[in-house]
Amino acid sequence: MRTTVGWRADGPVTTLRRASLERRDLRPDDIAVRVDHCGVCHTDLHAVRSHREPGASVVPGHEFTGVVTETGSEVTRFAAGDPVAVGNIVDACGECAMCRAGQENFCHAFPTLTYGGTDRHDGSTTLGAYSREYVVRDRFAHRLPAGLDPAAAAPLLCAGVTVWEPLSALGVGPGTRVAVAGLGGLGHLAVKLAVALGAETTVISRSAGKAGDARRLGAHDVLVSTDPDRMAAARDRFDVVIDTIPAAHDLGPYLRLVAMDGTLTLVGHLGQVTLEAMDLLVGRKKLSSAGSGGRPGTAALLDFCAEHGVAADIELLPSARVNEALDRLERNDVRYRFVLDLSDLS
Ligand SMILES: NC(=O)c1ccc[n+]([C@@H]2O[C@H](COP(=O)([O-])OP(=O)(O)OC[C@H]3O[C@@H](n4cnc5c(N)ncnc54)[C@H](OP(=O)(O)O)[C@@H]3O)[C@@H](O)[C@H]2O)c1
Ligand SMILES: [Zn+2]
Ligand SMILES: [Zn+2]
């Protein structure tokens, strides 16, 4: 084992404390990465604040960039010094139909999550990238394209790819009318990507307070979800609605915005939903979901972002301020992604 330093929540405690962590020795197909930047995803907040048994702990962090420091004996794709990016999947079975199709995120044997997952070889619980070092199977690291800022690119690896896969799968491009509900980490990247793909893009937010930002991000229109008249006037208006809202909510108002044969895609709150079938029936509407990305999709996203200059709008903080970042994220006080600078752990 090798040791590193990171930020961990132990037992019932819902804040992170600096802790010494163990990483495995490199397997032949592993690389060791010095983590330089890690985004703060709302999922990390859910994980830190959720109930834990005494003795259980979590080290969050699943969208990061850094530099390769060591390679396992069989690694040929990377060498020490290469800039890399890693998302929220660090392994998968490699054999099932989903893995063979390059959708390791949907692996039938369940992908190994970057934190809180179970390592396929030694059964240990994975520890995330709020830490100075991560050891990862080389297949699940991506080369960071030149031209992408490593700090602003980190959120592409979870927030970005989670909205990219449905945008691509639904064929979003010029002529598509897209709406994005919730202008946060996922939402602002969904807006930038939809705009870069050529779609006519609208932000749906709870207040008009983010309208200026929405337009600066490239959105063509803003709809305030708490204004029933405007919501009613926007009935059947969008081919695709990407819903990034992080809490349980009624889908009815959002389904009513979807055009005939259009799709509402839930990527935010993942849990039970209640649905009035008539909201689907009238207009032959579709409901879908998505999460994370496969290896080819993630690589395509990184190339697209490098080509189109898309990255997150970030607030970069030393990692010692991680609890402040989580508190502010909880209060919706972030524009639009916190990224931790892990160099203060050296
Ligand atoms: N499917 C996946 O694989 C995947 C991947 C990553 C994250 N997630 C989940 O996606 C969700 C969003 O993550 P994020 O990092 O983008 O979060 P975030 O930065 O907090 O953004 C969420 C946005 O939703 C709106 N919102 C917040 N609370 C709301 C509420 N109670 N009701 C209605 N709208 C609300 C806010 O936008 P406005 O101020 O504009 O209203 C907020 O900025 C989280 O639940 C996260 O766990 C899923
Ligand atoms: Zn995430
Ligand atoms: Zn599989």
Residue ID of nearest Cα to ligand 1 atom 35: 245
Structure tokens at 11: 């037992």
CB 312 within 8 A of CB 335: no
- Within a 10 A sphere around the Cβ of 256, how many other Cβ atoms? 19
Q: Where are the beta strands (DSSP E) in 92-210?
A: 112-113, 133-137, 142-143, 177-181, 200-205
Structure tokens at 289: 């979901």
pLDDT at 101: 98
- Closest ligand by atom to 120 CA: 3
Find, among 66, 87, 89, 88, the residue nearest to 78 by Cα: 66
**3 state SS of 194:** helix
End-to-end CA distance of the chain: 18
Please give the distance, rounded to the nearest whole angstrom, from the Cα atom of residue 289 to the centre of ligand 3: 19
pLDDT at 161: 98
Cβ neighbourhood burial of 86 (10 Å; 0-12, 13-18, 19+): buried
- Within a 10 A sphere around the Cβ of 79, how many other Cβ atoms? 11
Strands 337-341 and 30-39: antiparallel
pLDDT at 52: 92
> Which of 38, 41, 113, 115 is the best mutation target for the ligand 1 pocket, counting ligand atoms within 8 Å of the beta carbon and taking the most?
41
Residue ID of nearest Cα to ligand 1 atom 7: 43
Please give the distance, rounded to the nearest whole angstrom, from the Cα atom of residue 322 to the centre of ligand 1: 18
Q: How far apart are CA 204 and CA 183, in angstroms?
A: 7
46 lines ligand 1 (CB under 6 A): yes
For the chain, percent of residues with pLDDT exceeding 90: 98
Question: What residues of the chain score a pLDDT lower than 50?
Answer: none
206 lines ligand 1 (CB under 6 A): yes
158 lines ligand 1 (CB under 6 A): yes
Please give the distance, rounded to the nearest whole angstrom, from the Cα atom of residue 41 to the centre of ligand 2: 5
At 266-275, the pLDDT tens digits run 999 999 998 9
Helices and strands (H, E) in the chain, number of each type: 11, 18
